Chains A and B, each alone.
Chain A
Amino acid sequence: MSATTFSPAGRRGRVGAQPLAVLLSFAVLALVVGWSAAPWLFTGNDPFFGVTARKLLPPSAEHWLGTDHLGRDLYARIVHGTWSSVTSALIATVIGLAVGGLLGLASGFLGGWVDTVIGRLIDMLLAIPNFLLAVVIVSAFGFQTINVAIATGVASVAVFARLMRSEVMKTSTAVFVEASALAGGRPAHVLLRHVLPNAYRSVVALAVLQFGTSILTIAGLAFLGYGDPPPAADWGLLVANGKDYPSSPWLVFAPAAVIVVTVLAINRLSRWIRHAA
Chain B
Amino acid sequence: MSRQSFLPFAARRLGHALVVILLAYSFTFLIISVLPGDPVSNMLLDPENGFTEEEIAPIIAHYGLDRPVLEQWWRAISRFALGDLGISLRASRPVSAMLLEALPSTLVLAGTAMLVALLLALAIAYASQSLPRRWGQGVARVLPALSLSVPSFVIGLVLIQVFAFQLGLFRITDPNGAAATVFAALALGIPVSAQIAEVLIANLDHEAGQEYFAVARARGLRLSQLFARHQLRPSALPVVTMIAVSIGELLGGSLITETIFGRKGVGSLVQSAVVTQDFPVLQSLVSLAAVVFVLVNLAADLLYPLLDPRLRRRAAAGRPA
Interface of B is mostly: helix
Contact A136 B282 (CB under 8 A): yes
B24: A residues at CB distance < 8 A: 124, 127-128
The one of B138, B248, B256 in contact with A220, judged by C-beta atoms closer than 8 angstroms, is: B256
User: A216 an interface residue at 8 Å Cβ cutoff?
Assistant: yes
Contact B20 A120 (CB under 8 A): yes
Least distance between B55 CB and chain A CB atoms (Å): 24
Q: How many residues of B contact A (CB 8 A)?
A: 61
In the complex, which residues 217-231 of chain A have their Cβ closer than 8 Å to any Cβ of chain B? 219-220, 223-226
Contact B32 A129 (CB under 8 A): no
Contact indicator per residue, chain A 111-140, by CB within 8 Å of chain B (1) or not (0): 000000000110111111111110111111
User: A252 an interface residue at 8 Å Cβ cutoff?
Assistant: yes
Identify which of A52-60, A63-71, A192-200, A255-263 touches chain B.
A255-263
A156 CA / B271 CA spacing, docked (Å): 21
| Contact A259:B151 (CB < 8 A) given known A8-B205, A135-B270, A136-B282 | yes
Contact indicator per residue, chain A 240-266, by CB within 8 Å of chain B (1) or not (0): 100100100100100010011001100
Q: How large is the interface on A (under 10, 10 to 19, 20 to 34, 35 or more residues)?
A: 35 or more
Contact A139 B137 (CB under 8 A): no
A44 CA / B290 CA spacing, docked (Å): 48
Contact indicator per residue, chain A 127-163, by CB within 8 Å of chain B (1) or not (0): 1111111011111111000000000000000000000
The one of B128, B145, B206, B259 in contact with A267, judged by C-beta atoms closer than 8 angstroms, is: B145
Least distance between A150 CB and chain B CB atoms (Å): 11
Contact B256 A223 (CB under 8 A): yes
The one of B138, B151, B208, B282 in contact with A8, judged by C-beta atoms closer than 8 angstroms, is: B208
User: A184 an interface residue at 8 Å Cβ cutoff?
Assistant: no
Contact B157 A252 (CB under 8 A): yes
The one of B151, B208, B289 in contact with A223, judged by C-beta atoms closer than 8 angstroms, is: B151
A262 CA / B94 CA spacing, docked (Å): 44
User: A206 an interface residue at 8 Å Cβ cutoff?
Assistant: no
Contact A129 B282 (CB under 8 A): no
A223 CA / B156 CA spacing, docked (Å): 12
| Contact A139:B282 (CB < 8 A) given known A129-B251, A224-B271 | yes
In the complex, which residues 152-186 of chain B have their Cβ closer than 8 Å to any Cβ of chain A? 152-154, 157-158, 161, 165
The one of B28, B154, B165, B208 in contact with A256, judged by C-beta atoms closer than 8 angstroms, is: B154
Q: Which residue of A lies closest to B285 (CB)?
A: A132
Binding site for A on B (CB under 8 A): 16, 19-21, 23-24, 27-28, 31-32, 35-36, 39, 128-129, 133-134, 137-138, 141, 145-146, 148-154, 157-158, 161, 165, 205-206, 208-209, 245, 247-249, 251-253, 255-256, 259-260, 270-271, 274-275, 277, 282, 285-286, 289-290, 293-294, 297
Given contacts A128-B293, A246-B165, could you give 8 more A-B pairs where the C-beta distance is less than 8 Å?
Answer: A13-B134, A123-B23, A126-B248, A136-B282, A140-B35, A224-B274, A264-B146, A267-B145
Between-chain CB contacts (< 8 Å), 5 pairs: A10-B141, A139-B274, A223-B153, A239-B157, A259-B150
